[in-house]
Amino acid sequence: MMRKHPVRTAALAIAAALALSACGKSDDSAATQANTDVQAIKDAETKMQAGFKDKNVEQVVAFYASSASFFAPGQTPSKGADVLRYVFRQMLGDPAAALSFQADRVEVSAAGDLGYSRGSFEQTATDPTSKKPVTVKGSYVTVFKKTANGSWKAIEDIITPTKPAAGTVTATTPAPPPSGADPTADAAALKALETQWLAAFKARDPAKIASFYAPDATAMQPDLPVMNGPAAIQAGLTEAFKDPAFAVEFAAETAMVAQSGDLGYTRGTFTGASTDPATKQPVKGQGYYVTVWRRQADGGWKAVQDINAPGIFPATPAK
């Protein structure tokens, strides 16, 4: 019978205990960092609102990265710090200007380099026709990227007017990030996935479309109730497809995935058609969308936030 060496056995036991202890500390450290990042995003949103209230244009613009994009209903996109500065200077020049928003979900990648916030907003501005203050309520999604100095900056910001939520959300636990993630390949995979998604729209298949959403997904469409979860999304699409004129086309212009390969987003343009309830005639629309994607336990991707806003495409320069 082979006898265990007491010294070696004790050494192995100590090593195992230290390894387990290190793993515990690593997990605790990761959770602490995630909480810190989430709070940093919330603090950035609080500071942005304070700047808006104080009509401090530079404080508002500092919320955004230098190459950020802002999408608001009925407008062309505002891209880059200089354009954003002009837009907010005009906006804050309105005596009635007011803005409040509250995130009901903030999530960051395991790598701590990419995150997003989703919530509701309320904005007041002077109506150019009536010259009276008008308040609009709706939903927003903001995608954030951590900068070299550790601060979080908004890189995509989109708002759309929505109604109270429909359906409930089933909370899910994010899957652990994959080993050997390839953000470039994953970004290409998200674009390819959107091609499949579009095919489901063209096939007018609500169940297939809804299958692209995570259990806790939220879909935000202009002037419609916020849809929580695939069941509510499928029900909304089933109703939409009762309209023979209903159709949609979309294409991603940008795709980005966190270094940890667990969180990403796509941003692009859409065009659509539906029947006007007043005139009973087909009408066309266009705009912009942002979709946040989360890696699932099986390694696939599901949309966790999906928002679009009607907008004006920039004019194409004449050749």
Residue 318 resides in a domain: no
The confidence band for 89, taking pLDDT boundaries of 50, 70 and 90, is very high
Taking residues 36-47, what's their average pLDDT? Answer: 98
Asked if pLDDT for residue 17 goes beyond 60, the answer is no
Residue 18 resides in a domain: no
Asked if pLDDT for residue 289 goes beyond 80, the answer is yes
The pLDDT of residue 7: 42
Measured between alpha carbons, how far is 270 from 227 in angstroms, rounded to an integer?
A: 19
Residue 28 resides in a domain: no
| CA 247 distance to own-chain centroid | 23
- Tokens 């980005």 locate to 256
Residue 243 resides in a domain: yes
DSSP one-letter code for 298: T
What contacts 41, CB < 8 A, 6 or more positions away? 103, 106, 108, 115, 117, 144, 152
| CA 138 distance to own-chain centroid | 15
Angle at 240 between CA 236 and CA 242, to 5 degrees: 125
Asked if 227 and 219 touch (Cβ cutoff 8 Å), the reply is yes
User: What pTM value is reported for the model?
Assistant: 0.89
The pLDDT of residue 42: 98
Residue 8 resides in a domain: no
Measured between alpha carbons, how far is 313 from 315 in angstroms, rounded to an integer?
A: 6
Taking residues 13-26, what's their average pLDDT? Answer: 44
Q: Which residues of 94-115 are buried (b: 16+ CB within 10 A; e: fewer)?
A: eeebebebebebbbbbbbbbbb
Give the Å distances, CA to CA, from 159 to 117, 142, 153, 199, 287. 12, 9, 17, 26, 12
Asked if pLDDT for residue 4 goes beyond 50, the answer is no
- Among residues 98, 71, 66, 94, the alpha carbon closest in space to that of 82 is found at 66
Asked if pLDDT for residue 266 goes beyond 80, the answer is yes
Residue 74 resides in a domain: yes
The confidence band for 318, taking pLDDT boundaries of 50, 70 and 90, is low
- CA dihedral sign of residues 12, 17, 18, 23: positive
The confidence band for 317, taking pLDDT boundaries of 50, 70 and 90, is low
Measured between alpha carbons, how far is 116 from 100 in angstroms, rounded to an integer?
A: 18
CATH code, domain with 74: 3.10.450.50
Residue 164 resides in a domain: yes
Q: How many domains does the chain have?
A: 1
The pLDDT of residue 270: 97
DSSP 205-260: -HHHHHTTEEEEEEEE-TTSEEEEHHHHHHHHHHHHTTSTT-EEEEEEEEEEE-TT
Average pLDDT in the chain: 91
DSSP one-letter code for 80: S
What contacts 143, CB < 8 A, 6 or more positions away? 114, 115, 116, 154, 155, 156, 157, 265, 267, 290, 292
Asked if pLDDT for residue 308 goes beyond 70, the answer is yes
Residue 224 resides in a domain: yes
95-128 per-position pLDDT tens digit: 999 999 999 999 999 999 999 999 999 999 999 9
Query: What is the domain extent for residue 37?
Result: 33-310
- Tokens 């500092």 locate to 62
